[in-house]
Copies of this chain bind each other. A is one copy, B any other.
Amino acid sequence: MSEPFQRVALIGLGLIAGSMAHAMRGGGLARQIVGHARSAETRETARRIGLVDEVFDTAAEAVRGADLVVLAVPVGAMAAVAEEIGPHLAPGAILTDVGSVKQAVIDAVGPHMPEGVHFIPGHPLAGTEHSGPESGFASLFRNRWWLLTPLPGTDPAAQERLTALIRAMGANADVMEPEHHDLVLAVTSHVPHLIAYTMVGVADHLRRVTEGEVVNYSAAGFRDFTRIAASDPTMWRDVFLHNREATLDILGRFTEELFMLQRAIRMGDGTLLHDYFSRTRAIRRGIIDAGQDTAAPDFGRAIVEGKQGGQAR
C-alpha cells in the first residue's frame, strides 16, 4: 500500500465488514473507518465494541466524503442501498461490494452509480458459519482468494488501488468475468451449501433417527455438513435467488449424476461405483498438490482434541 484511504465507509456491519475493519486498522490501511447497518441493534453493538470510528444511522450519511465505500449487505439488499447512497458518493470514490454473486450485483448497483465513481465488484472467498458485528477477525482474509469482476472500461489506477488494499489485508487478488465467476462459485460453493442444507434437513425430519443420535454419532461427513448448513440464512437465501440460473444448471447436473449412482446401488453395479469413487479421489489429490489443503490424516482433529471428532466410515 502506497497511501492509506482517507475514509472508508462500510455499509453493512457483519462478518466481512467487521473483519475488514479489523484488518484495515491493524495494517494502518485507512485513516478513518465509518459504517452503517440497517438494524438498530447491530449499530448499537458496533458502537459498543468500537468496531469502527463512527456509526451512522443512514447509509447516505456514512458514505459522505468516503474515498472507499464497501457494500457488505446481502445480495438482495444491494439495489436499495445503491439507490440510497448514489447521490451522496464523492467524485473519484471507489465503490466495491463483497457479494457472493456478481452479475446480479452489477445489475442492481451499476445503474445507481454516478459519473466519476469507480464501481469495481468483488468477492472475498472467506467466511465462517458465524455472522454479526462481533464475528469478524483481522486474519479472515489471510491467504484467501479475493476475486474482482471489473466492468469494461474500469480505471486501471482505481483497480490497482483496490487490489493493493486487498493484498494488504492478506488476500490473493484475481480477476474474473462476472458470469464465469457465478458458474465457478455455483460449483465450488453455492450448490455444495444447498446440498449440505438439504442433508441436514433430511436428518432433522427423520423421526426414526432421534436428534440425540444424529448429534452423538455425527461423523465427519455429516458434521462438516452441519457446519456448512449453519451459515447465515439471509445471505444464502439471496445467493440462491440471485444466482438462480447457474445454481439450477449445476443442480440439474448433480441430480443426474446422483440418480446414476443411486441406480448403480439399486442394481448392485459395484464396478460403476468403484470407478466413480476412484476418479473423485484423484481430484482431491489435485487440491492437496496445489497447496489448497493439507494431506495430514488428522486434519481438523487437533482443534477438537478432547471432544468427539474424527471421520466416520
- Measured CB to CB, the residues of A under 8 A from B are 16, 76, 100, 123-130, 135, 137, 139-140, 143-145, 147, 172, 174, 180, 183-185, 187-189, 191-206, 208-209, 211, 213-231, 233-241, 244, 247-248, 250-251, 253-255, 257-258, 261-262, 265-266, 268, 270, 273-274, 276-281, 283-287, 290-300, 302-313
Contacts and interface: CB of A to CB of B under 8 A. Distances in A.
A277 B239 CA distance: 12
Contacts of A147: 217
B241 A281 contact: no
Contacts of A226: 280, 283-284, 287, 293
A201 B193 CA distance: 16
Q: Which of A137, A261, A285 has the most CB of B within 10 A?
A: A261
24 contacts: A125-B312, A137-B298, A180-B208, A188-B203, A188-B312, A189-B313, A197-B280, A198-B254, A198-B261, A201-B257, A201-B276, A204-B279, A204-B283, A214-B283, A215-B292, A226-B280, A228-B311, A230-B280, A233-B273, A233-B274, A236-B273, A237-B270, A240-B273, A299-B303
- Please tell me how many copies of the chain the complex holds: 2
Q: Which of A230, A239, A261, A296 has the most CB of B within 10 A?
A: A230
Given A127-B313, A143-B310, A187-B209, 17 more contacts: A129-B284, A130-B297, A172-B308, A184-B217, A192-B199, A192-B219, A197-B261, A201-B257, A206-B250, A223-B287, A227-B299, A229-B281, A229-B284, A235-B313, A248-B266, A299-B300, A300-B303
A213 to B, nearest CB: 5
A222 B184 contact: no
A205 B253 contact: yes
A221 B307 contact: no
* A interface, over-half SS: helix
A143 B218 contact: no
Contacts of A204: 279-280, 283
Nearest to A304: B294
Nearest to A308: B292
A231 B311 CA distance: 10
A215 B291 CA distance: 9
B241 A265 contact: yes
A284 B184 contact: no
A310 B192 contact: no
Given A266-B244, A286-B211, A292 B197 contact: no
B206 A253 contact: yes
A189 B291 contact: no
A192 B280 contact: no
A125 B309 CA distance: 9
A229 B304 contact: no
Given A197-B276, A250-B202, A230 B192 contact: no
